[in-house]
A = this chain, B = another copy of it.
Amino acid sequence: MERKMLLASGALLLGFAFETPLWADEAQAIRTLDASWTKAAGQKDAPATAAYYAENGVLLPPNSPIVKGRAKIQEVWASFMGKPGFMLHFDPTQIVVSRSKDLAYDIGTYELTINDDHGQPMHEVGKYLVTWKKDKGSWKVMADMFSADK
Protein backbone atom coordinates (compact mmCIF):
# COMPACT_ATOMS: atom_id res chain seq x y z
CA MET A 1 0.00 0.00 0.00
CA GLU A 2 2.73 2.38 1.06
CA ARG A 3 4.71 1.52 -2.07
CA LYS A 4 1.64 2.12 -4.25
CA MET A 5 1.14 5.56 -2.73
CA LEU A 6 4.81 6.34 -3.22
CA LEU A 7 4.54 5.32 -6.85
CA ALA A 8 1.37 7.37 -7.27
CA SER A 9 2.89 10.49 -5.75
CA GLY A 10 6.02 9.90 -7.83
CA ALA A 11 3.88 9.79 -10.98
CA LEU A 12 2.07 12.95 -9.84
CA LEU A 13 5.38 14.75 -9.29
CA LEU A 14 6.63 13.60 -12.70
CA GLY A 15 3.33 14.78 -14.16
CA PHE A 16 3.84 18.26 -12.74
CA ALA A 17 7.52 18.30 -13.62
CA PHE A 18 6.80 17.46 -17.25
CA GLU A 19 3.46 19.21 -17.77
CA THR A 20 4.19 22.68 -16.45
CA PRO A 21 7.48 23.36 -18.23
CA LEU A 22 6.11 21.98 -21.52
CA TRP A 23 3.22 24.46 -21.33
CA ALA A 24 5.56 27.29 -20.43
CA ASP A 25 7.99 26.20 -23.15
CA GLU A 26 5.46 26.87 -25.92
CA ALA A 27 4.65 30.35 -24.59
CA GLN A 28 8.38 30.96 -24.22
CA ALA A 29 8.97 29.77 -27.81
CA ILE A 30 6.45 32.36 -29.04
CA ARG A 31 7.98 35.04 -26.80
CA THR A 32 11.39 34.28 -28.35
CA LEU A 33 9.89 34.42 -31.86
CA ASP A 34 8.28 37.79 -31.04
CA ALA A 35 11.69 39.10 -29.91
CA SER A 36 13.47 38.10 -33.15
CA TRP A 37 10.44 39.13 -35.25
CA THR A 38 10.37 42.70 -33.86
CA LYS A 39 14.16 42.86 -34.41
CA ALA A 40 13.75 41.90 -38.10
CA ALA A 41 10.98 44.50 -38.47
CA GLY A 42 13.03 47.16 -36.69
CA GLN A 43 15.92 46.45 -39.07
CA LYS A 44 13.56 47.03 -42.04
CA ASP A 45 14.17 43.48 -43.30
CA ALA A 46 10.90 42.72 -45.13
CA PRO A 47 11.76 39.14 -46.23
CA ALA A 48 12.90 38.18 -42.70
CA THR A 49 9.79 39.84 -41.21
CA ALA A 50 7.46 38.06 -43.66
CA ALA A 51 9.13 34.69 -42.91
CA TYR A 52 7.29 34.60 -39.55
CA TYR A 53 3.92 34.26 -41.34
CA ALA A 54 2.47 31.01 -42.61
CA GLU A 55 2.37 30.69 -46.41
CA ASN A 56 -1.42 31.27 -46.13
CA GLY A 57 -1.21 33.77 -43.26
CA VAL A 58 -3.16 37.04 -43.32
CA LEU A 59 -2.49 40.63 -42.27
CA LEU A 60 -5.43 42.82 -41.18
CA PRO A 61 -4.21 46.44 -41.17
CA PRO A 62 -6.41 49.39 -40.12
CA ASN A 63 -8.12 51.27 -42.97
CA SER A 64 -7.06 48.63 -45.51
CA PRO A 65 -8.61 45.39 -46.76
CA ILE A 66 -7.27 42.02 -45.57
CA VAL A 67 -3.88 41.06 -47.09
CA LYS A 68 -3.71 37.35 -47.93
CA GLY A 69 -0.55 35.22 -48.15
CA ARG A 70 3.11 35.65 -47.18
CA ALA A 71 4.20 37.13 -50.54
CA LYS A 72 1.63 39.96 -50.45
CA ILE A 73 2.32 40.54 -46.74
CA GLN A 74 6.03 40.98 -47.53
CA GLU A 75 5.15 43.67 -50.12
CA VAL A 76 3.07 45.56 -47.52
CA TRP A 77 5.90 45.37 -44.97
CA ALA A 78 8.46 46.54 -47.58
CA SER A 79 6.33 49.55 -48.50
CA PHE A 80 5.70 50.32 -44.80
CA MET A 81 9.42 50.05 -43.94
CA GLY A 82 10.27 52.33 -46.87
CA LYS A 83 8.52 55.32 -45.27
CA PRO A 84 10.98 58.01 -44.05
CA GLY A 85 11.79 57.80 -40.36
CA PHE A 86 10.30 54.29 -39.93
CA MET A 87 11.01 52.78 -36.50
CA LEU A 88 9.02 49.93 -34.95
CA HIS A 89 9.13 47.84 -31.82
CA PHE A 90 6.51 45.46 -30.41
CA ASP A 91 6.25 43.34 -27.26
CA PRO A 92 3.81 40.64 -26.17
CA THR A 93 1.84 41.18 -22.94
CA GLN A 94 -0.17 37.92 -22.98
CA ILE A 95 0.40 34.55 -24.70
CA VAL A 96 -2.27 31.81 -24.59
CA VAL A 97 -1.54 28.29 -25.91
CA SER A 98 -4.06 25.48 -26.57
CA ARG A 99 -3.70 22.24 -24.58
CA SER A 100 -2.76 20.44 -27.82
CA LYS A 101 0.00 23.05 -28.37
CA ASP A 102 -0.90 23.54 -32.03
CA LEU A 103 -2.74 26.87 -31.73
CA ALA A 104 -1.95 30.04 -29.77
CA TYR A 105 -2.56 33.76 -29.73
CA ASP A 106 -0.68 36.68 -28.32
CA ILE A 107 -1.69 40.21 -27.44
CA GLY A 108 0.84 42.98 -27.19
CA THR A 109 1.72 46.62 -27.71
CA TYR A 110 3.77 48.43 -30.34
CA GLU A 111 5.53 51.74 -30.76
CA LEU A 112 5.86 53.12 -34.25
CA THR A 113 7.59 56.24 -35.55
CA ILE A 114 7.17 57.59 -39.10
CA ASN A 115 7.97 61.09 -40.35
CA ASP A 116 5.02 63.34 -41.16
CA ASP A 117 4.77 65.48 -44.35
CA HIS A 118 7.11 68.08 -42.79
CA GLY A 119 9.78 65.47 -41.98
CA GLN A 120 8.91 65.58 -38.29
CA PRO A 121 8.79 62.22 -36.45
CA MET A 122 5.23 61.13 -35.66
CA HIS A 123 5.00 58.72 -32.73
CA GLU A 124 2.19 56.15 -32.51
CA VAL A 125 1.43 53.69 -29.71
CA GLY A 126 -0.89 50.77 -30.45
CA LYS A 127 -1.91 47.19 -29.76
CA TYR A 128 -1.95 43.94 -31.69
CA LEU A 129 -3.58 40.51 -31.73
CA VAL A 130 -1.69 37.68 -33.45
CA THR A 131 -2.76 34.03 -33.87
CA TRP A 132 -0.14 31.28 -34.29
CA LYS A 133 -0.36 27.72 -35.63
CA LYS A 134 2.27 25.04 -35.30
CA ASP A 135 3.20 23.61 -38.68
CA LYS A 136 5.80 20.83 -38.97
CA GLY A 137 7.11 21.65 -35.52
CA SER A 138 7.44 25.42 -35.87
CA TRP A 139 5.05 28.23 -34.95
CA LYS A 140 3.85 30.41 -37.82
CA VAL A 141 1.64 33.54 -37.77
CA MET A 142 -1.82 32.83 -39.19
CA ALA A 143 -3.42 36.24 -38.59
CA ASP A 144 -1.85 39.56 -37.57
CA MET A 145 -4.04 42.55 -36.67
CA PHE A 146 -3.04 45.89 -35.13
CA SER A 147 -4.37 49.40 -34.55
CA ALA A 148 -3.40 52.68 -32.90
CA ASP A 149 -4.52 53.53 -29.36
CA LYS A 150 -5.57 57.09 -30.31
Q: Please choose the segment from A3-11, A36-44, A101-109, A114-122 that sits at the chain B interface, where 4 or more of its residues have CB less than 8 A away.
A: A101-109
Describe A's contact surface by its main secondary structure. strand
- Asked if B63 and A148 sit within 8 Å, CB to CB, the answer is yes
Q: Please choose the segment from A16-24, A77-85, A125-133 that sits at the chain B interface, where 4 or more of its residues have CB less than 8 A away.
A: A125-133
Which listed residue (B66, B107, B143, B149) contacts A105, Cβ 8 A? B143
Known: A131-B131, A149-B63. Is A103-B98 also a contact (CB below 8 A)?
Answer: yes
- Asked if B99 and A142 sit within 8 Å, CB to CB, the answer is no
Q: What would 14 more interface pairs be, CB under 8 Å, given A62-B148, A98-B98, A129-B129?
A: A58-B107, A60-B127, A60-B145, A60-B147, A62-B62, A98-B99, A98-B102, A100-B100, A103-B104, A105-B105, A105-B131, A105-B143, A129-B131, A145-B145
Chain A interface residues (CB < 8 Å from chain B): 58, 60-66, 96-100, 102-105, 107, 127, 129, 131, 133, 142-143, 145, 147-150
